[in-house]
């Protein structure tokens, strides 16, 4: 078996992401949505709603969650889990900020 | 045995406190202090009261000359250490003095961060760090004029308030959208801004300083957006940097600060460090409480073998501006499994928010009423399970009456003559008497009989509590009719209150109407954004993050995440040139589907997000603008060919449709708005199932509205017949504006008309000529701000972040 160490990848300055908004990172074929909350926390989720693969990066960000633009599922930014009665989970990625630069663990 | 020699570099509050602890437990050391500042140890936290004139330097001295003598300390004031020779255990001062040490403590503190803007070195540009800065600010304020403070954090705001108190005009420039964003959430930041503005301090948020202007000294500040603010004084308070230079040159381990272990020892076992220059446990500190804890730990270890270790603890933040009461502690950012309890009191202007996780307090933000800050901090530190007092937690310690505290206690404790409904002056006693005398059981009954909560409605919750108290179990709280779970207020209430209270921002609405969540949800935010756009044209700045994606990027998201693009074709008329441009775009960007829409235009489906801007640029170049096919706003005006071509046509329906679309495009409405103009009653443009439809007849124009042809099918109702095209345009403008001002978000015009009544609408819009003209005038005014092509704005570079990935990683092919 092949164990791959995670690497921290610099994706750009925090200020490039709008507050209560998101930007995408293209990682090969996968798109990863990087969210910034009104309190400047950052979270990274695969840009795919567990419901019908809606681009979560395009949703409205509120109180630690994002509402999917396609069918209004509410997804937790921290765990990727669907909230309320909906069931499903989106992959999450570790992320941190160092000196104003956002680093993503891939 | 001779004493060991302790040398300290720096004479601030942390080493001062460290020495106090040290002298309590041992006299093993001879102490020498080098201080770059020519002063004894004073309380830097109290610089703000010195600036505002509430205290003097003498008031804030911690250790006078006598203290140093008493403890036999050698103090070299105004003498900087330039080198540390670790091998020889010696320090060298700039005056050439060489002193040997057994133990060395580095307490060089921090330096203010000066943004290297053009002009930052002009006379009149100051940091706010020590007594010299404070003195310079006081001198400058004596000359009057305007001070610009760059930085809306703790220090910047204290400087601003102090300078204002000294009689200067003050402008605060802050890069972020809300003040003190690291210590306060958006809601509390808004209240703070309002308070400061009430004192005459101008606050500019999201303002980026481009340069400081002036020839021989500072004359003003220029912002990135071109605004120029005259200034005779500029204070930079944008943050501090640990002062690590000396330690770095000595080869100690440095990261953001001087790295120490939990005993405050640096990478050299004979050198300790305390204060703002230290990085311990990966964190650097700027508030005094943790610095004093460092001092205690370092003293203990200098005194001998010790178990004491520095541990991180949340430190509450307070602002030292008289009359601005705010308190924040812990973690108040968002996260999973966290719950907020929010209490807003619009009358008193207070905001309280407690953040819970696993039934424990992890943070609190208080504004206006900070009495319980210490109590919340105690609960946070102790990690106590608060589930027992959850219901009453937010009211504070006074309401914790032992087991099973009653959430109605606050209301029960009110006297009978306490006013519940401020609008109508209704007391608790009056409501209780009416409930008992008349056997009232519902809120509607109470409103009808007492008028309590019948006006603005902010007291509805209180009235319900009085009802619950009076009726006991017989009263069941009604299911919320609120616009979303964030508020008990209905759309109607919210709309009325926005106007009545002059609320002009989303945080203002949330505070005044006592929202129960910190920043709303995906239901209420778009609604509030629309109401504010509609009610305050030219004043309110559209909040893009409160719009759904389609309206944010001005295109329609499709199920696979691509977008569709629809250029506007006024009245459904196009030209060969436009068609060629559309065909070229479809070829160039490999757009898979080109479809003719029901609204008489062309839809390009399957456009990749990163292609949107070039597609729009090409369409713009051919003279086309956004068709707003995504908008809760004007969509299309469909027409038939009318008297130009049709043998039955009675009027120029195409021409009128084009005029209407030119008048209406760009307007935001509660829900989408589709029009049609038919040239005769045969109705080829299907006017009779549109939101607003016009049917041309020989004698003039029938104006119809309230049709629906979606999930629900309904024919239009006639508003009336008018004689001329000008009348049609005026009536349609007035009708649209009345709908814009009174409609609920996502309420189509037929539902709105059902709610208001068709007769009533006709009386206002058709029969009453004055009102018709007034509504139409307001519409025209709003349009003067709304008719901006969003595509052109994006093409010229606005919000470029919306359209491109922040980062693209090409994966190497795996072997």
Annotation: binding site of B for [4Fe-4S] cluster: 640, 646, 680, 684
What are the beta bridge partners of residue B63? B41
pLDDT of residue A2 exceeding 70, the answer is no
For B334, the closest of A16, A39, A59 (CB atoms) is A39
Does residue A50 fall inside a structural domain? yes
> What is the pLDDT at residue B482?
81
Mean pLDDT of B805-815: 62
pLDDT level of residue B711 (50, 70, 90 thresholds):
confident
Return the structure tokens found at B354: 């407690």
From B312, B298, B290, select the one nearest B21 (Cα to Cα): B298
Segments forming the whole domain that contains residue A72: 16-105
Mean pLDDT of B753-770: 93
**In this predicted model, what pLDDT tens digit does every residue of B465-522 receive, in sequence order?**
888 888 877 776 665 568 888 888 889 889 988 988 889 999 999 988 889 888 888 8
DSSP β-ladder status, B700-705 and B708-709: unpaired
Do residue B334 and residue A25 have CB atoms under 8 angstroms apart? Answer: no
Chain B residues touching A63 at Cβ < 8 A:
334, 340, 517-521
Who contacts B351 (Cβ-Cβ below 8 Å, separation ≥6)? B187, B188, B191, B342, B343, B344, B345, B365, B366, B367, B368, B511
**In this predicted model, what pLDDT tens digit does every residue of B408-426 receive, in sequence order?**
666 777 778 777 776 677 8
Do residue A19 and residue B545 have CB atoms under 8 angstroms apart? Answer: yes
Does residue A1 fall inside a structural domain? no
Does residue A98 fall inside a structural domain? yes
Chain A residues touching B552 at Cβ < 8 A:
58
Interface of A with B in 68-97 (CB under 8 A): 69-70, 72, 74, 76-79, 81
From B679, B589, B661, select the one nearest B625 (Cα to Cα): B661
Who contacts B44 (Cβ-Cβ below 8 Å, separation ≥6)? B12, B13, B130
Interface predicted TM-score (ipTM) over 0.90: no
Q: What is the dihedral of CA B455, B735, B627, B657, to 10 degrees?
A: 180
Nearest CA in chain A to B813: A28
Is the distance from CB of B237 to CB of B204 less than 8 angstroms?
no
> What is the pLDDT at residue B477?
63
Interface of B with A in 505-534 (CB under 8 A): 517-522, 525-526
DSSP β-ladder status, A21-27 and B807-809: parallel
* Cα(B343)–Cα(B432) distance, integer angstroms: 25
Does residue A32 fall inside a structural domain? yes
DSSP characters for B305-366?
Answer: ------------EE--STT--EEEEE--S--TTEEEEEEEETTTTEEEEEEEETTEEEEEEE
Does residue A7 fall inside a structural domain? no
For A24, the closest of B334, B550, B806 (CB atoms) is B806
Helices within B490-546 (DSSP H only)? 491-500, 506-512, 524-535
Nearest CA in chain A to B186: A38
Do residue B185 and residue A74 have CB atoms under 8 angstroms apart? Answer: no
Q: What angle do CA B481, B486, B492 make, to 5 degrees?
A: 45
Cβ-based neighbour number of residue B197 at 10 Å: 12
3-state secondary structure of A11: strand
Q: What is the dihedral of CA B61, B41, B68, B30, to 10 degrees?
A: 160
Does residue A26 fall inside a structural domain? yes
Mean pLDDT of B549-567: 89
Quote the minimal CA–CA distance from A93 to chain B in Å: 15
From B407, B450, B414, select the one nearest B431 (Cα to Cα): B450
* Cα(B338)–Cα(B765) distance, integer angstroms: 50
Q: What is the dihedral of CA B625, B628, B634, B640, to 10 degrees?
A: 70
For testing the chain A interface, which of B805, B810, B813 should be mutated: the one with the most A CBs within 10 Å? B805
Nearest CA in chain B to A103: B807
Residues constituting chain B = 815
Does residue A57 fall inside a structural domain? yes
pLDDT of residue B814 exceeding 50, the answer is no
The CATH number of the domain holding residue A53 is: 2.102.10.10
Tell whether A54 lies on the interface with B, counting CB pairs under 8 A.
yes
Annotation: binding site of B: 640, 646, 680, 684
Chain A residues touching B526 at Cβ < 8 A:
60
Domains of chain B, each with CATH number or no CATH: 4-110+242-303 (3.50.50.60), 125-238 (3.50.50.60), 325-407 (3.30.390.30), 412-539 (1.10.10.1100), 549-626 (3.90.480.10), 634-786 (3.30.413.10)
pLDDT of residue B810 exceeding 80, the answer is no
Chain B residues touching A59 at Cβ < 8 A:
522, 549
pTM metric for this prediction: 0.68
pLDDT of residue B589 exceeding 50, the answer is yes
Chain B residues touching A20 at Cβ < 8 A:
519, 545-546
What are the beta bridge partners of residue B704? B693, B718
Do residue B806 and residue A60 have CB atoms under 8 angstroms apart? Answer: no
The tally of domains found in chain A comes to 1
Burial environment of residue B47 by CB neighbours within 10 A (0 to 12, 13 to 18, 19 or more): buried
**Angle between helical axes of B769-786 and B725-742 (0-180°, round to 10):** 80
Does residue A45 fall inside a structural domain? yes
Token pair 């569709």 is at which residue?
Answer: B564
Mean pLDDT of A2-22: 82
């Amino acid at each position: 078996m092949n164990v791959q160490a995670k690497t921290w990848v610099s994706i750009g300055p925090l200020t490039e992401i709008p507050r209560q908004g998101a930007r995408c990172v293209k990682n090969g074929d996968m798109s990863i949505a990087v969210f910034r909350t009104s309190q400047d926390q950052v979270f990274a989720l695969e840009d795919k709603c567990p419901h019908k693969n809606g681009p979560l990066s395009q949703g409205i960000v509120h109180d630690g969650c994002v509402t999917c633009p396609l069918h209004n599922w509410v997804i937790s930014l921290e765990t990727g889990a669907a909230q309320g009665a909906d069931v499903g989970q989106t992959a999450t990625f570790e992320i941190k900020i160092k000196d104003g630069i956002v680093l993503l663990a891939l | 045995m001779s004493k060991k020699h302790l040398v300290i570099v720096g004479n601030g509050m942390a080493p001062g406190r460290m020495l106090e602890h040290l002298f309590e437990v041992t006299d093993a050391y001879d102490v020498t202090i080098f201080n770059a500042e020519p002063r004894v140890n004073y309380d830097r936290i109290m610089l703000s009261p010195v600036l505002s004139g509430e205290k003097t330097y003498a008031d804030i001295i911690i250790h006078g000359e006598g203290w140093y003598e008493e403890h036999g300390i050698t103090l070299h004031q105004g003498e900087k250490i330039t080198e540390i020779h670790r091998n020889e255990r010696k320090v060298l001062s700039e005056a050439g003095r060489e002193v040997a040490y057994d133990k060395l403590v580095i307490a060089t503190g921090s330096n203010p961060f000066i943004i290297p803007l053009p002009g930052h070195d002009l006379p009149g540009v100051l940091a706010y760090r020590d007594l010299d800065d404070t003195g310079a600010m006081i001198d400058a304020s004596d000359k009057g004029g305007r001070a610009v403070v760059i930085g809306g954090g703790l220090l910047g705001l204290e400087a601003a308030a102090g300078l204002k108190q000294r009689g200067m005009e003050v402008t605060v420039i802050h890069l972020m959208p809300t003040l003190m964003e690291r210590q306060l959430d958006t809601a509390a930041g808004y209240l703070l801004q309002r308070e400061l503005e009430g004192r005459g301090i101008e606050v500019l948020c999201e303002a980026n300083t481009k340069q400081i202007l002036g020839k021989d000294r500072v004359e003003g500040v220029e912002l990135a957006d071109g605004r120029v603010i005259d200034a005779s004084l500029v204070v930079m308070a944008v943050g501090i940097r640990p002062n690590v230079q000396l330690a770095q040159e000595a080869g100690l381990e440095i990261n953001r600060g001087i790295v120490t272990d939990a005993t405050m020892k640096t990478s050299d076992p004979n050198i300790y460090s305390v204060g703002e220059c230290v990085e311990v446990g990966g964190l650097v500190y700027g508030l005094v409480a943790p610095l004093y804890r460092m001092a205690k730990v370092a003293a203990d270890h200098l005194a001998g073998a010790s178990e004491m270790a520095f541990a991180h603890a949340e430190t509450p933040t307070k602002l030292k501006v008289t009359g601005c009461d705010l308190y924040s502690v812990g973690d108040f950012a968002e996260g999973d499994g966290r719950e907020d309890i929010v209490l807003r009191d619009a009358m008193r202007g207070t905001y309280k928010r407690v953040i819970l996780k696993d039934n424990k307090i992890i943070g609190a933000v208080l504004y206006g009423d900070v009495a319980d800050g210490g109590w919340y901090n105690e609960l946070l530190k102790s990690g106590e399970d608060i589930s027992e007092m959850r219901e009453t937690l937010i009211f504070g310690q006074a309401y914790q009456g032992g087991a099973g505290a009653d959430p109605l206690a606050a209301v029960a404790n009110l006297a009978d003559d306490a006013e519940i409904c401020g609008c109508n002056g209704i007391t608790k006693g009056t409501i209780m008497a009416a409930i008992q005398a008349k056997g009232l059981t519902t809120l509607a009954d109470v409103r009808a009989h007492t008028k309590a909560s019948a006006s603005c409605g902010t007291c509805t919750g209180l009235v319900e509590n009085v009802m619950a108290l009076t009726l006991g179990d017989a009263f069941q709280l009604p299911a919320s009719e609120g616009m979303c779970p964030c508020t008990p207020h209905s759309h109607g209430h919210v709309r009325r209150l926005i106007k009545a209270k002059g609320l002009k921002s989303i945080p203002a609405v949330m505070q005044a109407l006592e929202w129960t969540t910190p920043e709303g949800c995906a239901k209420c935010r778009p609604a509030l954004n629309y109401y504010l756009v509609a009610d305050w044209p030219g004043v309110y700045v559209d909040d893009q993050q409160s719009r759904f994606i389609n309206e944010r990027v001005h295109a329609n998201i499709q199920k696979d995440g691509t977008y569709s693009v629809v250029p506007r074709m006024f009245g459904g008329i196009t030209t060969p040139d436009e068609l060629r441009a559309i065909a070229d775009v479809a070829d160039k960007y490999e757009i898979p589907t080109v479809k003719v829409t029901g609204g008489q235009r062309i839809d390009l489906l399957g456009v990749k997000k990163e292609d949107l801007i070039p597609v729009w640029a090409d369409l713009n170049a051919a003279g086309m603008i956004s068709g707003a096919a995504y908008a809760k706003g004007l969509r299309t005006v469909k027409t038939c060919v009318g008297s130009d071509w049709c043998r039955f046509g009675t009027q120029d329906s195409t021409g009128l449709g084009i005029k209407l679309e030119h008048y209406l495009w760009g307007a935001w409405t509660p829900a989408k708005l589709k029009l049609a103009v038919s040239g005769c009653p045969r109705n080829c443009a299907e006017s009779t199932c549109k939101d607003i439809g016009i049917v041309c007849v020989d004698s003039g124009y029938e104006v119809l509205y309230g049709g629906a042809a979606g999930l629900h099918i309904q024919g239009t109702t006639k508003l009336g017949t008018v004689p001329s095209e000008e009348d049609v345009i005026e009536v349609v403008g007035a009708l649209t504006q009345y709908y814009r001002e009174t409609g609920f978000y996502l309420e189509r015009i037929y539902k709105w008309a059902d709610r208001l009544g068709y007769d009533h609408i006709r009386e206002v819009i058709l029969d009453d000529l004055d009102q018709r003209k007034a509504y139409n005038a307001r519409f025209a005014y709003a349009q003067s701000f709304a008719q901006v092509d969003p595509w052109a704005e994006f093409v010229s570079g606005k919000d470029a972040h919306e359209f491109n990935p922040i980062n693209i990683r090409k994966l190497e092919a795996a072997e």
